[in-house]
Amino acid sequence: MTRRFIAVLFALVISHWTLGISRDDVPPLAKQVTIYRDTYWVPHIVGKTDAACAFGLGYAQAEDNLPRIAQTVREATGTLSELEGEAALERDALVRRLKIPQFARENYHKIPADFQAVLKGYCEGVNFYVRRHPDKTPTGWRDLTPHDLVAAGRYIIIATFLANPLNARRLIEQQVSSKARNEVECRPGATSFHCVADYEQRHFADATWLATNSIGSNMWAIAPKKSANGKAMLFINPHLPWDGLVQWYEAHLISDEGWNIMGATFFGSPFIGLGHNEHLGWSHTVNAPDVWDVYRVELNPDNPRQYRYEGTWRDVTVVEETFRVKRGETTETVTRSLDYTHHGPVIHRTKTHAYAFKIAGWDDVLMMAQWYRMGKARNLKEFQAALRMQAVPMFNCVYADREGNIFYVYNGKVARKNEKFNWRGIMDGGTKETEWGNYLKFDELPQVLNPKSGFVQNCNPTPFETTAGDDNPKPEKFPRYLVGEGMNPRAQRARQVLEGKEKFTVEEFRSLPWDDHVLLADRTVPDLVSVFRALPEEKRKEDADVAKAVELLAQWDRKASRDSAAMPVFDRWAELYAARAKQPYKETDPTERSLTLPKGIGEPETAIACLRDAVADLKKWFGAFPVTWGEVHRIRRGDKEFATCGGDGGRYGMLHIIGSRRESNGRRYGTGGHSYVMVVAFTHPPQAWSIFPYGHNRTDPQSPHYADQTALFANAQFKPAWFTMDEIRAHLKRRYRPGE
């Protein structure tokens, strides 16, 4: 018996030694949290405290995609060149220039203690996973710290969404490159410098960046009066890239301290950024409030480290930053001088001028704490109290709750500014007249509460067309510089759909994200068909396949369904026509407020030439004509490939958004768009359905959860988003504590 006992004890010791961890090494929070993985591998994390839930979230995210967490933190702290060498140095320098990690450290003490505990808990969860799985540790891994998480949050929001410096540099380059001797023309009419940079130029830079990165979003909410079951319903649908920095992760957090929220977040984020709790839910879309400016200052010809302000020379602040840079098998230390004016970091210089970047909430560290408060709110009053923190510096927000309230706000941390200037251009940084004042208060932002129409929507358009009727915010009540958007085709289609039905059943509401009606086809195809049919007979008979394409378009139901033979023709034609036509539409809307424009064919000859080329391209790529949209439009995940519907909603006015890249074989493969889709009905308890384009495991192609949602997604279907513990237990795949 004694020998047997010794043998068992020895086996246990060896087991713990092999795992590299003893019972004493298990953090206390690991013993306070249980992870329930449902049949889609979504983690439902149950903890005694919010910090314990955060520990579980960190552990679960590390299980599913530790490399992404490591990459995000490296990018956010400006230390990527330590691993990737010289190629990453400029990115690191830019991140440090924007003081993304510096302010995370310097202002960390401003974060409330309860959220500091959440940050610490998440870090402990990730670090515990790394200790338990040294074989899965990324190269160059360092233990995660709360400062790293704050830097990551600031990096994602400030450097990616709020004030992407690429936009500022494009704006500067447009001005500098067009002027001899690097001078920027002034716009007359005011006693102070008035820049030439038009609103349209800056807006174009923003729009180009958003489109290139598949970033946008759809969201709406309906009130009980518009719902067949008498309950408010919410639609959540961010459009982001499916891979990389801002890929979504679904989780459910349940604590004894009142945290009970399900939805989506990013890897490296210890909170839910959009979703629902038992009382309410919300979503976000990207907006374009005036939250950054570029200031042009004159440099002292005798001392380029000075700039003119109010007639005197001020010193440029110079900060020396050191970087560890991988070079071959060694790492070297490199020092860079980073310049600042009182406006902000200098991001461009000429011989005579410097350009400084001013960003709203540049030094703020409370944005994640605000989302944490939003997730714990129990009613509209508490939710709006969280919004009034104004730490989240941008994003439209749509809200619904079980009391039947629906709400929209054009959220933005926007300063008061002198309205005689064009704030969408490059500003004169040498005068106090262009200085920012204090920020607009929350109640001074455009918003809509419980409109008579019974709905609010936002698909990245102007806030002044949020709903139907006179409950929309009135433009004249807000500063001219505040809002940067006009109407867009997706929002026009959303208004059509939401206004077109008195009441929606749950099933009907769930079908709206998959609406693949092509609004642009409604407005261009009739003209295109008429133009072709008006050609002389001999011209129409020159190419039988072009004539066939016209008949396909004429008979088309205008839907981007998988079996549509007209959609590939329209898609390629629209792609070519947009690139070639200087005035593509017969009727346009200079106010950018119309619900029915643009429409018509502005250049008939160009349109017909593009149609001929579109047919020729399809025949070249696929060896036959016609082809179906499902043959062209695909989703690829690992070694699996699926035909799908939907398409480029930004151009076409579809609600079913899949941003894609056309490959050399002519096929389009999805890369972004519908990146997380959730529908919530505020019954008691709430019911929800959600879907990802891929699966919950992001790193292991052999995992059954690497692509288990892709077939559903390609077929425009949801999975259940189980919320109650009875539902979770009924669909349980695995239950465990971190470290087991």
219-234 pLDDT, tens digit each: 999 999 999 999 999 9
At 407 the three-state DSSP class reads strand
Q: How many angstroms separate the CA atoms of 492 and 487, rounded?
A: 7
Q: What is the pLDDT of residues 552-564, one digit of tens each?
A: 999 999 999 999 9
Averaged pLDDT for residues 694-715:
95
Averaged pLDDT for residues 725-732:
98
Judged on CB neighbours under 10 Å (0-12, 13-18, 19+), 335 is exposed
Instruction: Look at residue 206 and tell me whether its pLDDT is greater than 50.
Output: no
Contact 690/676 with Cβ under 8 angstroms? Answer: yes
Domain presence at residue 560: yes
Q: How many angstroms separate the CA atoms of 390 and 364, rounded?
A: 10
Judged on CB neighbours under 10 Å (0-12, 13-18, 19+), 243 is middle
Confidence of residue 178 (pLDDT cuts 50, 70, 90): low
Domain presence at residue 493: no
pLDDT at 193: 23
Q: What is the pLDDT of residues 247-295, one digit of tens each?
A: 999 999 999 999 999 999 999 999 999 999 999 999 999 999 999 999 9
DSSP for 352-395?
SEEEEEEETTTT---HHHHHHHHHH--SHHHHHHHHTT--S---
pLDDT at 589: 85
Q: How many angstroms separate the CA atoms of 171 and 297, rounded?
A: 15
Q: Count the Cβ atoms, other than its own, within 10 Å of residue 552.
A: 18
Question: What contacts 146, CB < 8 A, 6 or more positions away?
Answer: 108, 116, 119, 120, 123
Containing structural domain, residue 555: 519-674
Q: What is the pLDDT of residues 86-133, one digit of tens each?
A: 999 999 999 999 999 999 999 999 999 999 999 999 999 999 999 999
Averaged pLDDT for residues 361-370:
97
Q: What is the largest CA-CA distance in the chain?
A: 103
Contact 215/207 with Cβ under 8 angstroms? Answer: no
> What is the residue type of 371?
W
Averaged pLDDT for residues 659-680:
96
pLDDT at 164: 80
3-state SS record for 164-189: CHHHHHHHHHHHHCCCHHHCCCECCC
C-alpha distances in Å from residue 194, one per residue of 172, 357, 416: 15, 17, 18
Averaged pLDDT for residues 540-552:
93
Confidence of residue 24 (pLDDT cuts 50, 70, 90): low
Q: How many angstroms separate the CA atoms of 195 and 174, rounded?
A: 13
pLDDT at 9: 45
Q: What is the pLDDT of residues 413-447, one digit of tens each?
A: 999 999 999 998 899 999 999 999 999 999 999 99
Q: Count the Cβ atoms, other than its own, within 10 Å of residue 87.
A: 11
pLDDT at 459: 96
% residues pLDDT > 70 (the chain) = 91
pLDDT at 162: 87
pLDDT at 172: 84
pTM above 0.75, yes or no: yes
Least trusted range by pLDDT, from 31-35, 303-307, 347-351, 493-497: 347-351
Domain presence at residue 605: yes
Least trusted range by pLDDT, from 163-172, 180-189, 701-710: 180-189
Q: What is the CATH number of the domain that holds 632?
A: 1.10.1400.10
User: What would the two tokens of residue 393 be?
Assistant: 């510096």
Q: What is the pLDDT of residues 94-106, one digit of tens each?
A: 999 999 999 999 9
Q: How many angstroms separate the CA atoms of 166 and 153, rounded?
A: 19
Confidence of residue 17 (pLDDT cuts 50, 70, 90): very low
pLDDT at 177: 64
Question: What contacts 542, CB < 8 A, 6 or more positions away?
Answer: none
Least trusted range by pLDDT, from 27-36, 63-72, 492-501, 536-545: 536-545
Which residue in 289, 288, 306, 286 sits closest to 297, CA to CA? Answer: 306
pLDDT at 590: 81
Instruction: Look at residue 664 and tell me whether its pLDDT is greater than 70.
Output: yes
Find the helix or strand (DSSP H, E) in which 607 lies: helix 604-622
**Half-sphere exposure for 308 (CA within 13 Å, toward CB):** 14
Least trusted range by pLDDT, from 13-17, 20-24, 29-33, 190-194: 190-194
Contact 416/397 with Cβ under 8 angstroms? Answer: no
C-alpha distances in Å from residue 96, one per residue of 69, 78, 90, 327, 431: 19, 6, 10, 20, 27
Least trusted range by pLDDT, from 38-52, 201-215, 335-349, 552-566: 201-215
Instruction: Look at residue 183 and tell me whether its pLDDT is greater than 80.
Output: no
Averaged pLDDT for residues 301-306:
97
Residues β-bridged to residue 407 = 399, 449
Contact 519/489 with Cβ under 8 angstroms? Answer: yes
User: Residue 413 phi/psi, 5° resolution?
Assistant: -95, 85
pLDDT at 347: 93
Averaged pLDDT for residues 604-632:
97
Chain centroid, CA 268 distance in Å:
15
Domain presence at residue 739: no
Q: How many angstroms separate the CA atoms of 390 and 409, rounded?
A: 12
Q: How many angstroms separate the CA atoms of 116 and 368, rounded?
A: 10
Contact 352/182 with Cβ under 8 angstroms? Answer: yes
Confidence of residue 651 (pLDDT cuts 50, 70, 90): confident
User: Residue 322 phi/psi, 5° resolution?
Assistant: -105, 145
Average pLDDT, the chain: 91
Domain presence at residue 248: no
Averaged pLDDT for residues 661-674:
95
In angstroms, the first-to-last Cα distance of the chain is 29
Averaged pLDDT for residues 586-591:
86
Number of domains comprising the chain: 1
Of 289 and 169, the structure prediction assigns the larger pLDDT to 289
Q: Which residue is associated with the tokens 């891929």?
A: 694
Asked if residue 590 has a cis previous peptide bond (ω within 30° of 0), the answer is no
Domain presence at residue 617: yes
pLDDT at 22: 52
pLDDT at 593: 81
For residues 383, 389, 395, 401, the Cα torsion angle rounded to the nearest 10 degrees is: 0
Averaged pLDDT for residues 629-642:
96
Contact 356/376 with Cβ under 8 angstroms? Answer: no
